[in-house]
Structure 1
Amino acid sequence: MKIEKLIIKDFRSHKLTKVTFTSGINLIIGQNGSGKSSLLDALLIGLYWPSKPRDLKKDDFLRIGGTATEITVFFEKDGVKYQIHRNITRGLSFVKYHDGSSWRGLESGQKQVRDWMEKLVPYDVFLNAIYIRQGEIDAILESDESREKVVRQVLGLDRYENAYKNLLEVRKEIDARIRAIEDYLKSTENIDELIGDMEKELAETLKVINELSPEIPKLRKELEGVEKRLRDLDALAEEINALQLETRKKEGNVKALEAKLQELEKRIEESRSRLRELEEKVRESNKLKGSAELYLKLVEFRKQYVDEKANGEKLAENYRAQISGIEERLAELSEMKNRLGELEKKREELKKKLAELEESVKAYEEAKTLKTNLDRLRMRLKLEPEEIERLAAEIETAKKRKEEIQRELEEINEKRGELKNRVSERNKAIMELKKAKGKCPVCNRELTEEHRKELMEKYLAEVKDVSKEIKELDSQERKLRRELVKVEGVLKRERELITQRELLEQIKELEEKLKSYDLKKLEKKAEDYENLKGELGKIEGELKSLKDELEKAKALEKKKAVLEKKLKSIEEKLAELEKKLGELGFSDIKELDEKLSELEPTYRRYLELKGAESELEREKKRLKRTEEELEDAREKLQGEFSSLEELRKRLKEKEKLYSPEEHAGIRERFTSLREELAGKRAQLEALEKKREETMENLKKLKEEKEGRKEKIKELENLKKARERVQNLREKVRRYKAMLKEGALAKVGELASEIFEELTEEKYSGVTVKAEENKVKLGVIYNGKEYGLGFLSGGERIALGLAFRLALSLYLAGEISLLILDEPTPYLDDERRRRLVDIMQRYLRKIPQVIVVSHDEELKDAADRVIRVSLENGVSSVREVELSV
């Protein structure tokens, strides 16, 4: 498989990104947070969505401000070019292949495309063999168990482990079926005896059915005759009951109509009496009507007179008071004009004095600013002039010492490198001596055990001496670096020195400027200026107030004229009211009230009689309706009498045809026959059901007898199958162990070569040992094997990286693509440089490698560099071609 191109839109920080990949080593490089790892996430999602690692969530894909997340992956597999396109937001997906001239569709739909990709390159294979993720190296170093899990996943041993477990489940299922069949055969041993008993039971049931069947038709015929007579008697009794009810109903109707006639006659007499009383009231009302109308007219006028006179007098009094107030205010405004002239003259005098003081105030403000700046600078000045000079001398001395320390460190590194080369050469010679047979690899003469031991002791002693020298150099380096830290601490104060010198110069300059100002004299003039300014403000405020008041005089004159006009109108209306009172014949309100008191009893009586005329008409109509209702009731009573006599005649005729004793006897006989027939039928049905059940059970027993023979054959086959499954399971176990042992041996060789490169041949090999659910790692140092606890932190990381790369290189014959995500965390500078050499030497065995890193040193091993950066919150990609 080879990745050719990746196009992503609105994915995390990528707005629209296109990346082309080539054969060889492709390096994706950028700072943390630039969006480089998002390219690998997009590749994984594009190929296998909705399958994904647990830390990838759909809600996190869409870029802020984006419309829809889209991913397109172009790749080649077995000589055929493919492209997969996914719109994650809308749930759209398709895969196409290139037939040499154009793209043709293969599948569409999220699940269909995922299933197709799973068949082409399984998800587990891609994730475990092709893609080395961040954190896998930690898992390799965590424990023997977690290391075994990584090995099992990458090498695909899980398939055999699952097959081994699945075969156990198959064997358990076969055992369960064998036990079930054996239990079944045991429980059906007496099946022939059961068949014989059931045949006897069936014969007895058939005999009883034949005896019972003829009795049922006889009972049914007798029951039909009794039932017919019972229906006739029921109908006759029901008809008699209906006639009795109807007769009692008619008798009740006659009594009700007779009572109604008496009630109606009484109501007619009462109505005629009320008519006479109402006619008398109507005549009296007509006589009182004129006096009542005069009373209403006078009451209405009195209300108008009282209301309007009270309101008018109140308004007139209010207008007079307002006019008086305005006249007083106009007199006061006349006196204010004199005060206005005095204030304007005083204002001009104050303005002249303020103008004379302005220059002194300006000078005082300048002096205050200089003094404030001087105080602030003095607060910032932390050192005395003598301390500043001493600090300058210390910094100059520190600069010279730093140069000396750096030269000494370079000399130590150079010497230590020479010593490490000597150690590496001697360790290599020791390993060759251990493996050598026949001739000595050093002097080329015959190699005896005594000579081997002598040379190894010599080389080991030399390694020990050189190691001691290296430790002394390390001690000198640590001492120099501690001193360097102190020196750099002094040099960090150089900026402080510059700042303090600048502050001192500014303070001196401000002190010279302040000498030219008389602060006390200027401060006194500034106080005088502020006092005069305050006094001027008060005068101007009073002037404004006086002018505003004088402006109101014209408005007050106008308002006075309007009020006088309104007062005249009110007085005219009050005079009109008095005129109307006289026209009605009254000299004052008292005479009007006396007349109203005289007319009031007459008006009240009129009100009492006012409704008599309408009530008279209603009573006449009510009397007419009652008389009509009386005539109708008489006609209905006559009809009810006739109907009652006819009913009594019919009832008497029907009672002659009916006997209650006969009816009760027939009903009792019907009940007895019906219960007897139902019992016989139920007995017959139960027997017939028993017959059917017995025949069905007999059929099943005979079928089960035949099935029992089949189960015996099935039991024999299952026992043979169990033996075959157990043999196959053992073969899978042995094959998995053999495959794991062979793979780990080769992985150990590759890991040894890589680890030696990373540690500058300090270690001569890596040991890999497989145990049950464990993979143990060790290293060879000075010819002896040590565990991981022997290694430093950086060496442990280097070993984990070497082991994981070796796993992928072991599969290089099977895979054509390798992806590494951040392979350099925790590696020091020297081991990162070694990783570059390893990539050039080993990873080029794989046709295509994609590496994601923030480490610039890896560019030296890359054929193509893809640089990712973040610009205004959006990832930007730039591709760079390099020469191999």
Structure 2
Amino acid sequence: MLKSLILNNWKSHKNTEINFSQGYNVLVGNIGTGKSSIFDGIVFALFGTTPNITSKKVPLKDLIMSKPVEEKESTITLDLSIGNDNYKIERTLYRTKTSQAKIYKNDALLRGPKPSDVTEEVEKLLNINLDTFMKANYAEQNSIDYFLKLPANERKVLFDNLFDISFYDNISVNARQVNNKLKTKNEDLQQKTNEYKRLLENYNKEKTEHKLKSIQKDISAIREQLQQFEKLRGLQKEKESEISKQKQDFETTTNLLNNLIGKEKYLETEIIKLKEVLTCNIEKLEQQMITLKEDKQKITNKKQKEEQEYNNIRSKTLFYNNKLTDLNTKQADFIKIEAQLKEIPKEINDLVNKLVQEIEKSRENITQNETKINTTELDIKTLEKSIANCPLCTQELAPKHKEDILIKKEQEKKQLEELAQKERKIYEQLKKDYDQKNKQREYYNRNIEVYEKIKSELVELDKYKKLIIENQELELAHKKRLETTQKDLDKIETVQKDLENKLKQIFDFENKQKDLQKIKEELKAEKEKLDHIKYNPEEYTKIKELTQKLTTEHQYKQEIILEKEKQQKEEQFKLAQYNQILENKDKAEKESQTLARYIDDFTIISNVSKKTQEQVRQYVVESINIIFQDLWQQIYPYKDFQNIKFNVNEGDYKIELFFNNEYKRELDEFISGGERSAIALALRIAMCLVMKNKLNLVILDEPTHNLDKKTILSLSNLFNNYLPQFVDQIFVITHDSDLEQYANNVYYISRNKETDGATEINVK
């Protein structure tokens, strides 16, 4: 049951709060006052959307109040009870950001803030969605006869979907589809089974197994032969290894002997050459070497001393050159400063002081002129007053006299201003002259000392030029002496190298004699070693040939085994293929038998679902008819149509009216618009009662369309006395005051549309 609804900034509702009660509730108001908006709010609170939003007729932001002021957000709060539990649903819409929603159960948060989560929770709680609610609980304005207007095929689909009768259609269709797929698959399996049988006929299993055993026997025999070959090869390899070692020792020793003989011949030749060259006494050579070293040391010391003197002279020359360069730079600066100082008058200080006095005097003149101008301006202001006195005698001035004085004062002021302007020009020119002369004075005072200092330093310029010339002559003389000493030193080093070479040759001679003796001893030892080596080249050749023969035979046997193993794998593959095909055949036959059982089962399911659907449809039609016929007697106040029936015939749901002792099906041919509306209303309420869900309410928007006054009163009585037996709440939206008569609650909805006012509600 719905308990209350709060609408904030929702369409035309600024701050609307409505408390609902059990029974018959009527909402009365003129067009556009916001009646339907209340139930749009209920629908939106429950499902987070409305039919107009879902069909994109209205954008979501249009639900937020836009007149008289465009609001940024809207909030809907719906309180309802289901069984013993109370629920609260809150939804907030924003113009510029994502909407939010929450649902509470007994004040505890269930889901949120994601709107889709809340909608999912509501649909699960009520076991209905928006589409079902709009068809089962809510009859919109101008849609009471919605079911009668539909074409036959669409009406059947809609009714079957509403009452879940189409569920059995789906079962039947799905069962047939699955059955067809199973039949197709079973046919494929039978084709595969026949193919497997055909393939098995091409295999000779016994022949393959016999050939496989023969190959395995041949492989075993050859492997035994290979084992014998392995033993022979092992013994032969030992012999080959032993004689190969003897051969290696023989060749190594022979090569070493040949190498030693070559070295012996080389050393003997070198010793003969050295004997021919060396005729000097080694002691005499060593004494000459000592004398040479002493002479070399003396000349080296002399050279170092001369180099030191030469470097000292070079340092002085460098110093004098740097000094001369510095003086030349200063001389250039001196000439520049001297030229600039000549341009400045010597009496510059007197000129600057004189300009300072003239500037001060000009400033005083300007001040005096400004004072006179101010005084004159004050006199003029005083004279311009309506009553003015003479500035001398203080008596009141006559108008003519006052005008003459004013003219005179204006002339004085003009002369003073011209004089002040001339004085300011003089002042500016004096300042300009002062700045120029003062800069010259500052430059003179800043550079005169530098000038005098450079002048005193330039006296030494000729002195350093003379010192440089003298020092360059000394440097040249020392350089020649240093070159002579270096030549003497080079001669001694040449003689020293010659003596060192002779001494080295003497030492080489002695070393070579020692090396020759050592080689002779090694030759003797290696010859004795060669005599003890037992190596026969012919025996080595025979052993190698026998080893090669055994290796070739071994490789041949291995190749035979590889070929036999290849044949073995081929036969094993054939046998495996046979077994796999046999297994696949058995598997396909077994699966085909299983599918045949499934096909029978799904055929039964399809037939049963179709029969069940017919029974369910008949039950629904009978249930609707019980209520429909009862409602018709309550709503329709006349006796011309004794009864009415809701029936299914030739694939369509139709209304049949009983008059003239028979049921008529084609209603449009003989009923009025009002009678059609009464039929549609009775059918719509009957369907709502049959489809009753957890909300247990009916909402009718403008149900009195085309109904006369008598029928409307019957309808009002129905809402008050009959329907509350079946549903908790009946909501009727209307502008017809006749429906108020039996209502438990009447909500008067009003709104000033001319000023875009908000909806207002009064409850009776």
Normalising to structure 1: TM-score of the pair? 0.48
In 2, Cα distance between the equivalents of 1:235 and 1:140? 113
Shift of 1:93: 12
- CA contact 1:155–1:807 (8 Å) conserved in 2: no
Q: CA deviation at 1:849?
A: 5.0
Listed as ranges, the matches of 1:177-576 within 5 Å are: 177-187=185-195, 197-223=204-230, 226=233, 229=237, 232=241, 282=307, 285-286=310-311, 288-289=313-314, 291-302=316-327, 305-306=330-331, 308-309=333-334, 312-313=337-338, 564=441, 567-576=444-453
The answer to whether the aligner puts 1:167 opposite 2:172 as a matched pair is no
* Native 8 Å contact 1:85 1:94 kept in 2: yes
Q: Does 1:809 align with 2:688?
A: yes
Native 8 Å contact 1:75 1:82 kept in 2:
yes
Provide Cα deviations, 1:746-802, integer angstroms capped at 9, x if missing partner: 898799899989xx99x999998978887789999xx995499x98xxx99989995
Query: CA, structure 1 residues 301+708, in 2 after alignment: closer, same or farther (shift >3 Å)?
Result: closer
- 1:366-419 Cα distance to aligned partner (Å, 9 max, x none): xxxxxxxxxxxxxxxxxxxxxxxxxxxxxxxxxxxxxxxxxxxxxxxxxxxxxx
> Is 1:730 aligned to 2:733, yes or no?
no
Q: Which has the higher mean CA deviation after the structures are superposed, 652-661 or 282-291?
A: 652-661
One-letter code aligned to 2:174: N
Question: Which has the larger helix fraction?
Answer: 1
Change (3 A) 1:290 1:726: closer
Alignment check: 8 A CA contact 2:4 2:17 kept: yes
What is the distance in 2 between the residues matched to 1:235 and 1:114?
A: 97
The one-letter amino acid paired with 1:306 is Q
- Give the Å deviation of 1:213: 1.3
Matched-pair contact (CA < 8 Å) for 1:96–1:103: yes
Deviations 1:632-663 (A, max 9, x none): xx9xx9999999x999989x989978899789
List per-residue Cα deviations over 1:150-178 (Å, max 9, x = no partner).
Answer: 44443333323322322322332443354
Change (3 A) 1:311 1:658: farther
Query: 1:684-720 deviations in whole A, cap 9, x for unaligned?
Result: 5445545655665565566667667756754663464
Q: Is 2:127 aligned against 1:122? A: yes
Q: Which residue of 1 aligns with 2:456?
A: 579
Q: Secondary structure at the match of 1:156?
A: coil
Contact 1:797–1:826 (CA under 8 A) maintained in structure 2: no
Q: Distance in 2 between matches of 1:118 and 1:217?
A: 84
Task: Supply the distance in 2 between the matched residues of 1:217 and 1:690 (Cα, whole angstroms).
Answer: 23
**Correspondence for 2:277:** none
Output aligned runs, 1:637-786, within 5 Å: 672-673=552-553, 675-686=555-566, 688-689=568-569, 693=573, 710=590, 714=594, 717-718=597-598, 720-732=600-612, 734-735=614-615, 738=618, 785-786=667-668
Whole-Å Cα distance in 1 between the matches of residues 623 and 307 of structure 2? 133
Mean alpha-carbon deviation: is it higher for 306-315 or for 105-114? 105-114
Distance in 2 (alpha carbons) for counterparts of 1:75 and 1:807: 24
Q: How many residues align?
A: 631
2-side partners of 1:318 and 1:777: how far apart? 131
Cα contact 1:812–1:845 (8 A) shared by 2: no
Q: What is the letter of the counterpart of residue 817 of structure 1?
A: N
Change (3 A) 1:15 1:751: same
1:355/1:292 Cα in 2 relative to 1: closer, same or farther (>3 Å)?
A: same
Structure 1 residue 575: deviation in Å?
0.9
How much does 1:295 deviate?
A: 1.5
Gap change, CA 1:729 and 1:43, over 3 Å in 2: closer
| Structure 2 unpaired stretches of 5+ | 65-72, 271-295, 387-409, 491-495, 659-663, 752-757
SS at match of 2:223: helix
What is the CA–CA distance in structure 2 between the aligned matches of 1:216 and 1:690, rounded to whole Å?
A: 20
CA distance in 2, matches of 1:119, 1:242: 101
The code of the aligned residue for 2:604 comes to: R
Q: For residues 225 and 689 of structure 1, do their structure 2 counterparts lie closer, same or farther at Cα, with a shift above 3 Å needed?
A: same
**Aligned residue type for 1:43:** L
Whether the 8 Å contact between 1:292 and 1:603 is mirrored in structure 2 is: no
Deviation at 1:298, TM superposition (A): 2.1
| 1:308-360 Cα distance to aligned partner (Å, 9 max, x none) | 5367558757987998799779858866876887788678878998999999x
Could you tell me how far apart the structure 1 residues matched to 2:345 and 2:18 are? Answer: 98
- What is the CA-CA distance between 1:847 and the residue it aligns to? 3.5
The alpha carbon displacement at 1:205 in A equals 1.2
Give the greater-gyration-radius structure (CA): 2
Q: Percent identity?
A: 12
Deviation at 1:565, TM superposition (A): 5.7
Q: Is residue 2:48 matched to residue 1:41?
A: no
Counterpart Cα distance in 2 of 1:603 and 1:11 = 117
Q: Any residues of structure 2 matched to 1:822-861 within 5 Å, and which?
A: 823=701, 840=719, 847-848=727-728
The letter of the residue matching 1:575 is E
Q: 1:33: Cα distance to partner?
A: 13
Task: Note closer, same or farther for the CA distance 1:722–1:305 as it changes in structure 2 (3 Å cut).
Answer: closer
Paired with 2:557 and 2:597, the residues of 1 have a C-alpha distance of 59
Give CA deviations for 1:775-834 in whole Å, capped at 9, x if unaligned: 789999xx995499x98xxx99989995994475243555543476x9469999999x97
Deviations 1:554-589 (A, max 9, x none): 99979977864663242122112212333xxx4xx6
Determine if contact 2:645/2:656 at 8 Å carries over to the other structure: yes
Paired residue secondary structure (1:213): helix
Q: CA 1:211/1:814 → structure 2, altered by over 3 Å: closer, same or farther?
A: same
Q: Partners in 2 of 1:103 and 1:774 — Cα distance? A: 48
Contact 1:6 1:74 in 2 (8 A): yes
1:179, distance to aligned residue in structure 2 (A):
2.5
Letter in 2 for 1:809: C
Contact persistence 2:173–2:606 (CA under 8 A) = no
Number of the residue aligned with 2:164: 156
Distance 1:787 1:108 in 2: 54
Q: Is the 8 A contact 1:292 1:599 kept in 2?
A: no
Can you list the C-alpha shifts for 1:721-752, whole angstroms capped at 9, x where unaligned?
35423422431453466467657868987998
Q: Is the 8 A contact 1:26 1:862 kept in 2?
A: yes
For 1:858 and 1:134, the matched residues in 2 are separated by: 20
CA distance in 2, matches of 1:752, 1:699: 78
> What's the offset of the Cα at 1:292?
0.8
- Residues 320, 664 of structure 1: alpha-carbon distance in 2 compared, 3 angstrom cutoff: farther
Any conservation in 1 of the 2:126–2:695 contact (CA below 8 Å)?
Answer: no
Query: Equivalent residue of 1:724, what SS?
Result: helix
Over residues 130-158 of structure 1, what are the superposed CA-to-partner deviations in whole Å (9 max), with x where a residue is unaligned?
56498995986996366555444433333
Question: Whole-Å Cα distance in 2 between the matches of residues 357 and 662 of structure 1?
Answer: 158
Give the C-alpha shift of residue 215 in structure 1: 0.7
The 1:852–1:810 alpha-carbon spacing in structure 2 relative to 1, beyond 3 Å, is closer
CA distance in 2: counterparts of 1:541 and 1:786, whole angstroms = 113
Amino acid at match of 2:179: R
Tell me the amino acid that sits aligned with residue 444 of structure 2: L
Deviations 1:852-876 (A, max 9, x none): 989999996684869999xxxxxx9
Confirm or deny: 8 A CA contact 2:369 2:419 kept in the other structure.
no
> What are the ranges of 5 or more consecutive residues in structure 1 without an aligned counterpart?
47-51, 63-67, 259-271, 360-532, 870-875
